[in-house]
Chain A
């Protein structure tokens, strides 16, 4: 069983829709939770970062972490065609300056927002 599970989609929504992307995980040691966005034939770029449980909002994007349920979500409000990309969740345990960042990634969800 994978440590991080993410529905690969594809997910297709109309412009303006609210999008919900989710990941579940099994490792209780995970404390840092991230969402990356990856456009076609490009490298992933960091979108949102959350430490431990709670919500974080940045413009149209909201990240939620529920450690008790081992479940994280990314919500996109008023979705735009430019949001069409693959969204990857990533997480890690306790980080340190010399330990490197041992991120574990989900498989990624492919999202298409139709005009």
Chain B
């Protein structure tokens, strides 16, 4: 059971280049998320998908697009990378469990540097 798998783990981009971060989960979860983690800022939600076919903006969506390809996969695209997007990106997934709410499971992270 792999859980949440994201690729690539490391990437260096030049300003203006585009790239897509891939994420897949094998836990049959309904909801998926993309977060970024920066020193002094903690984890901030970029986009999320509450269920297959829906996506919504989070706290810091500017400069990003997402695609919920199917129930398993949720990709994050940087159309024109900027140095401010240098960060660690985490994909996550969750399933509603009634009284216990949503438990979020995170991937291992993708380290992105924009030069």
Where the two chains meet, the residues of A that have a C-beta atom closer than 8 Å to any C-beta of B are: 4, 6, 8, 32, 41-46, 49, 51, 88, 90, 92, 95-103, 105-108
Q: What does the 1/0 interface line of B98-109 toward A look like (CB < 8 Å)?
A: 011111111111
Q: Which residue of B lies closest to A8 (CB)?
A: B40
Given A101-B102, A108-B42, 5 more A-B residue pairs with CB atoms under 8 Å apart are A46-B104, A51-B100, A100-B33, A101-B104, A103-B45
Tally of contact residues, B, Cβ under 8 A: 31
Does B19 touch A at the CB level, under 8 Å? no
Where the two chains meet, the residues of B that have a C-beta atom closer than 8 Å to any C-beta of A are: 4, 30-31, 33, 40-45, 48-51, 56, 58, 90, 92, 94, 96, 99-109
- Rounded to whole angstroms, the CA-CA distance of A45 and B39 in the bound complex is 18
Interface SS majority for chain B: strand
- Listed residue (A8, A46, A102, A106) with the most chain B CB atoms within 10 angstroms of its CB: A102
Q: Which residue of B lies closest to A43 (CB)?
A: B106
List of A residues within 8 angstroms of B101 by Cβ: 32, 49, 51, 92, 95, 101
